[in-house]
Structure 1
Amino acid sequence: MPKRLMNTGSIASLSCICSIHSRWIVALLGISVLPSTLRAEGFIEDSHGNLTLRNYYLDRDYKDGGAKSAAREWAQGFILGMESGFTQGVVGFGLDVRGLLGVKLDSAPDRSGTELLPVSASDKRAADEYSRLAPTAKLRFAQSTVKSGDVSIFLPFAFASPSRLLPQTFRGTTLSSKDIDGLTLNTGYIDRINKRDSTDYQAMSIATPNRRFNGAATTSHLAYVGGDYQVNKELSLRAYHAEVAELYQQDTLALLHNLPLGDGVFTSDLRSFFSREDGAAKAGEVDNRNLSALFGYRLGGHRVSLGYMHSSGDTATPYISGTELMGMSELTMASDFLNAKERTWQAIYDYDFVASGVPGLKGRLRYVRGDNIELAAFNAEDRKEREFQMELGYVIQSGPLKNVGLLARKAIYRNDFPSGTAFRDENQTRFQVLYTLPIW
């Protein structure tokens, strides 16, 4: 990690990490003094913990002549994860605790707003640091696990965003079951979200880039049910239903298939989202069908993929603000490509350098283009956007820096949207250094 971290990290920041660690120890000690009938050797013996260090630089260089010419910040994240085992018996109990700390390394009011750090609404200054402690109670019976408290969900309709300094989480209760061979069932009730640049839980709302919906409307909860079924080694199916109370409902269907072909593998990824308003429809009308197909061929270290996504209906594709929708446009950097009526094409080239004798090194080139875009709030039709991405990542394989990950991403994004829209012409650069250190 850069030496500057040690110079800028305050005593309070280090104290926070120590405090989080000490609270976990207290929790374990509390369990250890319970009567032996309530304790289980697995609770302690099967526990483990790790500390993830994430150094993140993000630079958005705007090219549209707007008043703000850049958003540029650098920060250091600490993610302390502690997971217990389960007590013995038909029903096993456990406790997980996650401590999160973000420290500002470089920012300024005229270029804040990358979402690496919380920003004051009054003076646009990024916080020097932010942190939170997130406990999760859990229980296990047979092949089912229930978690309650601070939870992460990585599902098609609400994928906890991993794209900033600290992870985005939820408050609620989830159930995941694998009691049926090949089938993973998931259901949950979520009532609050903790966004990636926030320290507290808040009511969930609908994402509103380009003023698609009423972003001031909030929901009391998200409820969902569905699952993934592994038909065989090559084919898997996915189906989910989600209700964001008083805002919208969304059904998800997907098919993933691998077909050995020649010396390589032909892959098919078909996804669909069907969305409509729910209850009082406080966010406004929701009417959207999002269908996508991505086909690829993998041969040695090479993989070439071509895809198409079509959005129909009267509105854009909805998703919860602060999360990501796992459609074909996932992991784009400058836009979500989920506008009303949008038709999107993409081409991807991936290369794993292990095929050339360099394990740990991977690269990607990606081009995404959307057209036929309707921006109702701006009275604009038949608009276009495009994004070109370059990515190079390397995980050091040996030596004192073994398992340190380096990731560089670059995006060039352009559109012909009216002034004032959410997505601006920009050249975006991201650098990350990641390292996970096992504690025990």
Structure 2
Amino acid sequence: MTRITRTAPALACLFGTACGFSHMAHADFLGDTKASIEARNMYMNRDFRQSNAPQAKAEEWAQGFTARIESGFTEGTLGFGLDAIAETAIKLDSSRDRRGTGLLAYGADSLEPEDTYSELGLAAKVRLSKTVLKVGTLQPQLPVAAYNDTRLLSSTYAGSLLTSQEIAGLTINAGRLEKINQRDSSSNDEMNYSGVDSAHLDLVGGSYALSPTLALSYYYAQMDNIYQQHYAGLVHNATLAEGVTLKTDLRYFDTGEQGDQRFRSAARVDGGRIDNRFFNGMLTLGVGAHKFGVGYQNLSGEGDFAFPGLDPYSVNLVTVNTFTKAETDAWQARYDYDFAALGVPGLAFMTRYVNGRNIETARVSGGKEWERDTDLVYVFQSGTFKGFNVRLRNATFRSSAGLTSDIDENRIIIGYTLPLM
């Protein structure tokens, strides 16, 4: 992405780019175009509980805007299109002693949060039959590479990604990711794992729906000179009785080192090699408006679980922690309730608890971590504020001494997406 220092030019450039293509566009190019602006206001307070913590708390409040355009394709055997995303963050309250929530970028001195920062990303795309190639700014959501959207602005990658759906029920993806733009940054940086840069991450794989209720998936990924990874997954949805469902979500990774020994040595995490097996899965029982979930994971072998960005594909990716340190065994209990059953559509509640044990690092053996999260969200269903949403999020995280910071956290997120086309 390109760094832009003012809010207006980012949005103007986005929509100006789309307008600039209108003279060559056919009906499908414009007729199938989708455009929207999302406004997200977020307050976050993270209280560090250790007496020796270098920072007592991180507390920031900011406003974000994200504009998106996804064009249709021109007519012909080969269809051409353009996608664009412009993001702007505006500081409402922060300081250098309260920075670090992930909402705002730091200044050039790495201390003072930016008052505002913006970015623009473009992706050219080509379609042949049911196969689409995108080159430029990407936001994949795949088991081996995913973007993050849990703060003010979402992260992005730069690279190329091909998606093919020529066979019914089968989706194939192949691509190369060369840069990453984190959620609190306006620059494209090198692909990176554990502080070691990599030239690119290659991926290939896909998913196949054996039936309307059962899907299997496989992916292979390789972060150049750091790791290689195999993934296999299964998702099954069953109806047990009227109003009673059971979802099974199973995921398995096999990860090992790859490439030049010099880079592999540098990338070793906490003294261990990258050589592990990671199983995680979740069973979710739905009974009317209630959902009861039970999750489990086993991470065996050497080193932490390796993944690009901030989001591992794990059922225990929760509000504060990822539970991906070496040897972590963890279980999760989760409960969801939809208040539409009580005549309040749009109101939903979630709470979960994750407990991790047997964690190994260079400083801790047999470490423990746990986290408890609670979400309450309401989406206005009608009237002037239709689509306006408010989310209250609370999290508590605790760990063995020497692992990481103990945290109490609260977030207030207010959002609205305005469709433009």
Establish whether residue 132 from structure 1 lines up as the match of residue 119 from structure 2: yes
User: 2:152 is matched with which residue?
Assistant: 165
2:114 alignment partner, SS class: coil
Task: Please state how far the C-alpha of 1:372 moved relative to its aligned partner.
Answer: 0.7
Establish whether residue 389 from structure 1 lines up as the match of residue 360 from structure 2: no
Letter in 1 for 2:373: Q
Deviation readout 1:55-102 (Å, 9 max, x if unpaired): 011110111111311001011000011122110001100111111100
Aligned ranges 1:306-325 → 2 under 5 Å: 306-320=294-308, 322-325=309-312
Task: Please state how far the C-alpha of 1:118 moved relative to its aligned partner.
Answer: 0.6
Aligned ranges 1:135-284 → 2 under 5 Å: 135-206=122-193, 208=194, 215=195, 217-263=196-242, 264-280=244-260, 281=264, 282-284=266-268
2:267 alignment partner, SS class: coil
Aligned ranges 1:6-405 → 2 under 5 Å: 16-17=7-8, 19-34=9-24, 39-65=25-51, 66-120=53-107, 122=109, 124-206=111-193, 208=194, 215=195, 217-263=196-242, 264-280=244-260, 281=264, 282-284=266-268, 285-320=273-308, 322-330=309-317, 332-376=318-362, 378=363, 380-405=364-389
Letter in 1 for 2:95: A
Larger strand percent? 2
Task: Please state how far the C-alpha of 1:201 moved relative to its aligned partner.
Answer: 0.4
- The CA distance in 2 between the partners of 1:257 and 1:51, in whole Å, is 35
Structure 1 residues 298, 200: closer, same or farther in 2, change over 3 A? same
Structure 1 residues 381, 24: closer, same or farther in 2, change over 3 A? closer
Letter in 2 for 1:277: E
Letter in 2 for 1:83: E
- The CA distance in 1 between the partners of 2:215 and 2:342, in whole Å, is 31
- The CA distance in 2 between the partners of 1:82 and 1:278, in whole Å, is 38
Unpaired runs of 5+ residues, structure 2, are none
- The CA distance in 2 between the partners of 1:140 and 1:375, in whole Å, is 47
- The CA distance in 2 between the partners of 1:312 and 1:417, in whole Å, is 22
Could you tell me which of 383, 393, 400 is aligned with 1:416?
400
1:86 alignment partner, SS class: coil
Task: Please state how far the C-alpha of 1:52 moved relative to its aligned partner.
Answer: 0.3
1:109 alignment partner, SS class: coil
Letter in 2 for 1:436: T
Tell me the TM-score normalized by structure 1: 0.90
- The CA distance in 2 between the partners of 1:42 and 1:221, in whole Å, is 34
Deviation readout 1:350-409 (Å, 9 max, x if unpaired): 111112221111111100000111112x1x211101001101111001111110011111
Deviation readout 1:156-215 (Å, 9 max, x if unpaired): 122101111111001101011111100111111111001111111010111x4xxxxxx1
Letter in 2 for 1:169: T
Task: Please state how far the C-alpha of 1:121 moved relative to its aligned partner.
Answer: 6.2
Letter in 2 for 1:179: E
Letter in 2 for 1:430: R
Letter in 1 for 2:410: T
2:21 alignment partner, SS class: helix
Task: Please state how far the C-alpha of 1:292 moved relative to its aligned partner.
Answer: 1.4
Percentage of matched positions with identical amino acids? 36
- The CA distance in 1 between the partners of 2:22 and 2:49, in whole Å, is 59
- The CA distance in 2 between the partners of 1:32 and 1:427, in whole Å, is 50
Q: State whether residues 384 and 417 of structure 1, in contact with CA within 8 Å, keep that contact through their aligned partners in structure 2.
A: no
1:27 alignment partner, SS class: helix
- The CA distance in 2 between the partners of 1:116 and 1:317, in whole Å, is 25
Letter in 2 for 1:22: A
- The CA distance in 1 between the partners of 2:110 and 2:312, in whole Å, is 32
User: 1:8 is matched with which residue?
Assistant: none
Q: Which runs of 4+ in 1 moved over 2 A?
A: 19-34, 120-123
Letter in 2 for 1:42: D
1:111 alignment partner, SS class: coil
- The CA distance in 1 between the partners of 2:10 and 2:61, in whole Å, is 24
- The CA distance in 1 between the partners of 2:313 and 2:378, in whole Å, is 25
Give the alignment's Cα RMSD to 1 decimal.
1.6
1:120 alignment partner, SS class: coil
Q: State whether residues 379 and 388 of structure 2, in contact with CA within 8 Å, keep that contact through their aligned partners in structure 1.
A: yes
1:400 alignment partner, SS class: coil
Task: Please state how far the C-alpha of 1:28 moved relative to its aligned partner.
Answer: 4.0
- The CA distance in 1 between the partners of 2:383 and 2:406, in whole Å, is 42
Task: Please state how far the C-alpha of 1:48 moved relative to its aligned partner.
Answer: 2.6
- The CA distance in 2 between the partners of 1:123 and 1:255, in whole Å, is 43
1:437 alignment partner, SS class: strand
Structure 1 residues 397, 32: closer, same or farther in 2, change over 3 A? closer
1:68 alignment partner, SS class: coil
